[in-house]
Amino acid sequence: MNADCVSAATLKVLLVDDDMDLLRVMRRSLSDSGLDVLTAENVDQALMILRSTHVEVVVSDLMMPGRTGLDLLRALRPEAPDLPVILLTGHPGLETAVSAVELGASHYLRKPVEARVLRECVHSAARAYRATARGRDPGASGASSTRPRGIATLERALERGIETLELFVQPVFHAATRVRLGWEALVRTSASEVRDPRALFAVAERLERVTEVGRKIREEAARLLAHLPEGLLFINLHPEELLDEGLYALDAPLAPHASRIVFEVTERAAIGRGTHLAERCGRLRELGYRIAVDDLGAGYAALSAVADLRPHVVKLDMSLVRGVADDRVRQGVIGSVVEMCGQLGIWTVAEGVESERELEALVWLGCGFVQGYHLGRPAAWEVAAA
């Protein structure tokens, strides 16, 4: 697994995943783009292959029975400090995201990953690896080619994330008429280690720099509004951002646009914060902003979040929306939430709509607004506003 000089031969990639169906799909996608793809069903198989074959990029599932993707990273680093490892996870979390960056994961991506995105990440990682093998690590500035560890690694990753941060937008539509209500702002960065927004905020939390990241996002949102047609802009707020007095300042970047802003606060944020969170949301309402409870139905204190925060909008989590057309239980739950919100004067937005049948079911259940790939994918504002 030594990082010897890399030839111009076909790029060799190792896929590691215990899900055989997913493994086949990824292998076919990467092979069709001209890559030489090997596969392993677990960490032990992966290490055997890596000790006998020159591989330039590893793509591994994070959670596997027995040893995990993080275990693979830990086993690799003493022998191959620069070998790119792309981690995929369906359930990104604070500790795993931070550990992935600390151990030198080149990318940390959330499943499902689009084939195009995966191919781009593989080629990007390979280019960096080949440059390092030639003694020209593009990000090392003359330092040793061995990846640094710990806090310094996290700080560099976060700096790159902040520097390259931009906002994409996904449209939100009236369910019955498909008239556009506005957009949700979605964070994107080209920093490979923190490409997933959850990884970005996980690292920001560890470094106690959430306020800095939040301010950058709100500055970008203010610039974005100058280009978007009339309509609301939904912006996710990390719970720690509610402690930032700059959020409430009359000269804050978003203050002139308050009537167009819907701040989304996940229902997770309501747990353990109670009146403190409610008071902060009340201040935002007084300044003209709207409040949304995000991810309702994802398994947390949904009804108490609505009672405490008094939101203008409730967003139904995609896990509740998925398959609603054929699931009477989901229909019953969504119908009850929609009826309750209607009585309270709260708008409902269903997230993750991926088919016409799901959309029709949501209209039938009385859901007011919808967003999802079936209606519009995240895109740069130039594309979204066209």
- CATH superfamily of this structure's domain 12-138: Response regulator (3.40.50.2300)
pLDDT of residue 346: 95
- The order of strands in the sheet holding 85-89 is 36-40, 12-16, 57-61, 85-89, 107-110
Residue with tokens 């409730």: 314
pLDDT of residue 277: 81
Once rounded to an integer, what is the mean pLDDT over residues 22-47?
Answer: 90
The per-residue pLDDT for range 329-379, each reduced to its tens digit, is 999 999 999 999 999 999 999 999 999 999 999 999 999 999 999 999 999
Architecture of the structural domain at 159-384: Alpha-Beta Barrel (3.20)
Q: Where in the chain is the domain with CATH 3.20.20.450?
A: 159-384
Token pair for 316? 């139904």
Q: Where are the alpha helices (DSSP H) in the chain?
A: 20-32, 43-50, 69-76, 94-102, 115-133, 150-163, 197-206, 210-225, 274-286, 302-309, 318-321, 328-344, 356-365, 381-384
Q: Where in the chain is the domain with CATH 3.40.50.2300?
A: 12-138
The per-residue pLDDT for range 49-60, each reduced to its tens digit, is 888 788 999 999
Mean predicted lDDT score pLDDT of the chain: 85
Cα gap 13→20, rounded to integer Å: 17
The per-residue pLDDT for range 111-167, each reduced to its tens digit, is 888 888 898 889 888 887 877 666 544 444 433 333 334 577 788 889 999 999 999
Full-prediction pTM beyond 0.75?
no
pLDDT of residue 145: 37
pLDDT of residue 371: 97
**Is-contact 249 217, C-beta < 8 A?**
no
**Is-contact 333 297, C-beta < 8 A?**
yes
Indicate the length of the chain as a whole number: 386
